[in-house]
Amino acid sequence: MSLAIAGMGWITPLGNGVDPVWQRLLEGAEAPAEKIREQLGDQSYSVFRVPNSALASLAPHPRLRRASAISRFAAVAGLEALHAARVKLGPQNRDRIALVFAISNGGVIYTKRFYRDIVETGAQAASPLLFPETVFNAPASHLAAILGITGATYTLVGDSAVGLLAIRMAEDLMTNDALDCCLVVGAEEVDWLLCDAYRRWRLLRLEPPVEPFSEVGRGMILSEGAGAIVLTRDGSLMIERTHAGGYYRKRTEAEEILKRIICDLTEGKIDFVISSANGTFIDKAECSALRQTIPDAIVYTVKPALGESVGAAGLWQVIMAGQALRCGELPPLLHVTSAISLRTPALRMSLARAGHAIVLSCGVNQQMAGLRLSIQ
Amino acid sequence: MLKTTAGNGKSVPARVAVVAAGVVSPLGFGLSETLDSLREARDCITRVTRFSVAECRCKTAGQVSDERLLDGRRDASRTQSLHRTSHMMIQALGEAVTQGPEFKPELTIIGTTSGGMSNGENYYRSLHRHGNLRHSPTWIANYPAQKPVIDAQETFGISAPCQVIANACASGTNAIGHAFECVRSSRYQCVLTGGYDALSELVFVGFDSLQASTPEKCRPFDRRRTGMVLGEGAAILVLENFDAARARGAPILAEITGYGASTDNFHLTQPDPSGIGPRRAMELALQSVQVAPNAVDYVNAHGTATLFNDAAEGKAIGELLGRVPISSTKSMMGHSLGAAGAIEAIVCLLALQHQFLPPNINFRAPDEDTELDVVANEARPAALRAALSNSFGFGGTNASIVMRKFEA
């Protein structure tokens, strides 16, 4: 079945609001990097953080008093998407909307604080206020409470493909006539501990830039924020098809699975691809699969500008694709070397007659997924 | 793809069969041991051995034996590199595969609460003491919640894409319920589903800090209940389009017929005392199967033995279903969080297959203001056609499924 995107919202290291951030991306903006340090280790890491000003529009709510950054990000993005979709929640429809929340690392800042107290002082120092915020679905619960959703809520956990898997799940949910729409949110917060873990796994770069599709795979820069879309059954911006995804063990397998996903999504013309290239080993698989299946398609990734936001990444990609189809142009792809054999927009590029796009998500923890969008 | 069409041309919901199942929990390894433990009302709660509980109020949990979990694993190097959550998933999926190797899942939907949390604990502790981080790549690799699912699928050559639902303690039932809806809608013919969770220090201490866990026996629905004990385990159910399963001659263990899910926005960790969240989930599950409440013969309750949960759930069950027999099998094995709903679905399946009511042990006296028919301390023989299983979690997630005995 196909679904319509009735509204979109996001909060990113370049600020919040779909149109303002989109404009900055078109102008070639790149989020400013911030150094973070921790007593746990000597290494400092560069990250792309959400500026405080992006949270200024968020009204106080009792549920947000102690909530993690993820919950605040999700609230900003979710409220923007619902507003754009003109969905008003009330007693008549609060159980006719489902919430699917994509996340990867979860509330790592509170989890670390909670466990630090146990390690340093002992179990009796453990905080009963912090513990509930460590649970993966705490941000979804806060968002449901803020919005007044009483229907089904699902928190889906995975790698950076989880956002597209969440949209696939929403599509499955929407086969049920009892639902009018589905709010899909992806969110993540960044922390030193995550940077350190990814660095030990040789996936992180200490300083920007993020160089997509590079031969060496120097690594990614982590970022934070949230993206949200409202899915309904009718509209002009359509998700024509989702792919259930797959998982890989080796890079060569990743390439084969991606080729299958792309072939499944490319019936007819494809004008551009919003890729998930983030500067890691997985870019090679994506590049090779794209080259072999749709060599003429224009390929763009937003991760050099906004970083790798893992749980939020897939939603950001879909919003990028939606905006490119609506506005008929793509931002310039930053920090790409001229040696790659893909068609990429070196400068802001007009896509005047673009009608179809693919979004691909290749996670570094074995998951991958894709979907196809169109505009009428 | 098989799609059922009614006389008026409209597609009708497909019937959903459970064609294979596997389980590992403190009750035992496999369906047979689990059945024996349920019938004999075994108390499988023991003193925690995986980490120090010296400073905790609660000292006990339901635990899965590591020796048995690793026994017979052929590939020693792979065995060492996997987390015990992966071993539990391999054990549970292995049992399901043995029953029905011909099933071909198009999707896997698994519930968990804490994924590979103990890997994160190891990593943090090593960083904190500036210790040896030689194993850190293994810890980090095993941390993602999807890893045990992929490990288990790889072991048996299954390549279905996986969705991991983390809806706190409702995760397992949400996973089964969503899998049921996927098959019921005919979008999928076969979906692998279930849940897993392993004990971890962080989660154990967390529940202890909330004083939700008890230093005493776990006594669900008892007037003097004092809280939960944690548990661990994994369970797998293979759901398939009923007609497709029959056509290929697959054994049908039971049918899943209904699912309901709701969100209770009362509080992050406490249910609305009115029981509205659980009641709504149960109502939706019954509506989806289009049966009257009196068609339910047994309720496997969430029954954590906390004051708030059992009061709200008991009120909801009493108001909606009347004096139906209920039990919380967590009294025997502890609360395995994301695995609980899946393990308890297996309990319902065994109850329907073998026609008995699983017991709620450590029960002494009911709440003064409720009239629940608690299956106290011993299993009871009973004629069962339909069972309802509840799971409720932090964040106000509520999920109920209805399972029916298969009658050829």
| Tens-place pLDDT, residues B22-64 | 999 999 999 999 999 999 999 999 999 999 999 999 999 999 9
Tokens of A257: 């699975």
Task: Region of B130 please: left (phi>0), alpha (psi -120 to 50) or beta.
Answer: left
| Tens-place pLDDT, residues B285-338 | 999 998 899 999 999 999 999 999 999 999 999 999 999 999 999 999 999 999
Q: Which of B343, B18, B308, B386 is nearest to B173 (CA)?
A: B343
My answer on whether omega of the bond before B366 falls inside 30° of 0, hence cis, is: no
State the pLDDT at residue B340: 98
Instruction: Tally Cβ neighbours within 10 Å of residue A96.
Output: 15
Give A-chain residues touching B187 at CB under 8 angstroms: 172, 175
Boundary of a domain, candidates A192, A217, A232: A232
- Per the CB < 8 Å rule, is A115 touching B261? no
My answer on whether omega of the bond before A209 falls inside 30° of 0, hence cis, is: yes
| Tens-place pLDDT, residues B354-400 | 999 999 999 999 988 788 999 999 999 999 999 999 999 999 999 99
| Angstrom distance (rounded) from CA A71 to CA A226 | 9
Asked if residue B116 lies in contact with residue B144, where contact means CB atoms within 8 angstroms, the answer is yes
State the pLDDT at residue A269: 87
Q: Is the pLDDT of residue B8 over 60?
A: no
Bridge partners (DSSP) listed for residue A367 = A247
Do A266 and A225 reside in the same domain of the chain?
no
Reported confidence tier of residue B72, pLDDT bands at 50, 70, 90: low
Interacting residues of A114 by C-beta distance below 8 A, sequence separation 6+: A126, A127, A130, A131, A134, B202, B206
Q: Which of A202, A256, A163 is nearest to B136 (CA)?
A: A202
Do A294 and A180 reside in the same domain of the chain?
no
Q: Which of B82, B150, B135, B333 is nearest to B228 (CA)?
A: B333
State the pLDDT at residue A1: 80
Tell me the CA end-to-end span of chain B in Å, nearest whole number: 23
| CB proximity B287 to A under 8 Å | no
Bridge partners (DSSP) listed for residue B398 = B262, B392
Tokens of A113: 């604080």
Map residue A369 onto helix, strand or coil. Answer: strand
| CB proximity B262 to A under 8 Å | yes
Q: What's the CATH number where A81 sits?
A: 3.40.47.10
Reported confidence tier of residue B75, pLDDT bands at 50, 70, 90: low
Asked if residue A119 lies in contact with residue B128, where contact means CB atoms within 8 angstroms, the answer is yes
| DSSP sequence for A65-110 | SS--HHHHHHHHHHHHHHHHHT----TTTTTSEEEEEEESS-SHHH
- Per the CB < 8 Å rule, is B107 touching A156? no
Reported confidence tier of residue B1, pLDDT bands at 50, 70, 90: very low
Instruction: Report the gap between the CA of A56 and the closest CA in chain B (Å).
Output: 24
* A52-to-A57, A72, A114 alpha-carbon distances in Å: 10, 11, 24
Boundary of a domain, candidates A169, A199, A232: A232
Global pTM reads 0.97
Write out residues in chain A with pLDDT < 70, as ranges: none
Domain ranges of chain B: 16-131+140-404
Bridge partners (DSSP) listed for residue B72 = none
Do A260 and A189 reside in the same domain of the chain?
no
* A326-to-A10, A355, A361, B153 alpha-carbon distances in Å: 16, 9, 21, 40
Tokens of A132: 């509930």
B7 class by beta-carbon count within 10 Å (0-12 exposed, 13-18 middle, 19+ buried): exposed
Predicted interface score ipTM higher than 0.85: yes
Interacting residues of A358 by C-beta distance below 8 A, sequence separation 6+: A262, A265, A266, A270, A272, A273, A274, A294, A297, A370, A371, A372, A373
* A345-to-A281, A300, A360 alpha-carbon distances in Å: 22, 7, 17
Tokens 């993820």 belong to A70
CA nearest to A369 within chain B: B161
Asked if residue A302 lies in contact with residue A315, where contact means CB atoms within 8 angstroms, the answer is no
Helix (H) or strand (E) holding B242: helix B242-247
| Tens-place pLDDT, residues A38-73 | 989 999 999 999 999 999 999 999 999 989 999 999
Tokens of B23: 């389980």
Instruction: Report the gap between the CA of A197 and the closest CA in chain B (Å).
Output: 7
Tell me the CA end-to-end span of chain A in Å, nearest whole number: 16
Do A141 and A242 reside in the same domain of the chain?
no
Do A214 and A330 reside in the same domain of the chain?
no
Bridge partners (DSSP) listed for residue B239 = B18, B191
How many percent of chain B have pLDDT more than 90?
85
| Angstrom distance (rounded) from CA B227 to CA B229 | 7
State the pLDDT at residue B4: 53
| Angstrom distance (rounded) from CA A256 to CA A277 | 17
Tokens 């013969």 belong to B297
B56 is catalytic: no
Give B-chain residues touching A136 at CB under 8 angstroms: 113, 115, 145, 166, 168
State the pLDDT at residue A314: 98
| Tens-place pLDDT, residues A72-84 | 999 999 999 999 9
Strand B60-62 versus strand B45-47 pairing type: antiparallel
B58 is catalytic: no
| Angstrom distance (rounded) from CA A133 to CA B267 | 12
| Angstrom distance (rounded) from CA A87 to CA A230 | 9
| DSSP sequence for B238-283 | EEEEHHHHHHTT----EEEEEEEEEE--S-SSS--TT-HHHHHHHH
* Marked catalytic residue, from B58, B169, B218, B348: B169
Give B-chain residues touching A140 at CB under 8 angstroms: 395
Do A254 and A126 reside in the same domain of the chain?
no
Per this entry, what is the length of chain B? 408
Do A45 and A99 reside in the same domain of the chain?
yes
Boundary of a domain, candidates A207, A232, A257: A232
- Specify the number of domains making up chain A: 2
Reported confidence tier of residue B149, pLDDT bands at 50, 70, 90: very high
| Angstrom distance (rounded) from CA B116 to CA B126 | 16
Tokens 């028919």 belong to B373
Give B-chain residues touching A175 at CB under 8 angstroms: 181, 185, 187
* Average pLDDT of every residue of chain B: 94
Q: Which of B155, B128, B401, B382 is nearest to B260 (CA)?
A: B401
CA B337: distance to chain centroid? 7
Q: Averaged over B339-343, what is the pLDDT? A: 98
Do A67 and A198 reside in the same domain of the chain?
yes
Do A225 and A348 reside in the same domain of the chain?
no
- Per the CB < 8 Å rule, is A153 touching B211? no
Do A196 and A64 reside in the same domain of the chain?
yes
Thinking of the domain B16-131+140-404, which architecture would CATH place it in? 3-Layer(aba) Sandwich (3.40)
| Angstrom distance (rounded) from CA A278 to CA A214 | 10
Q: Which of A95, A106, A366 has its CB closest to that of B146?
A: A366
State the pLDDT at residue B10: 61
Query: Which residues between 145 and 164 in chain B have a beta carbon less than 8 angstroms from any beta carbon of chain A?
Result: 145-147, 150, 153-154, 159, 161-164
| Angstrom distance (rounded) from CA B84 to CA A291 | 40
B169 is catalytic: yes
Domain span at residue A246?
237-375
Do A208 and A308 reside in the same domain of the chain?
no
Do A247 and A365 reside in the same domain of the chain?
yes
State the pLDDT at residue B71: 79
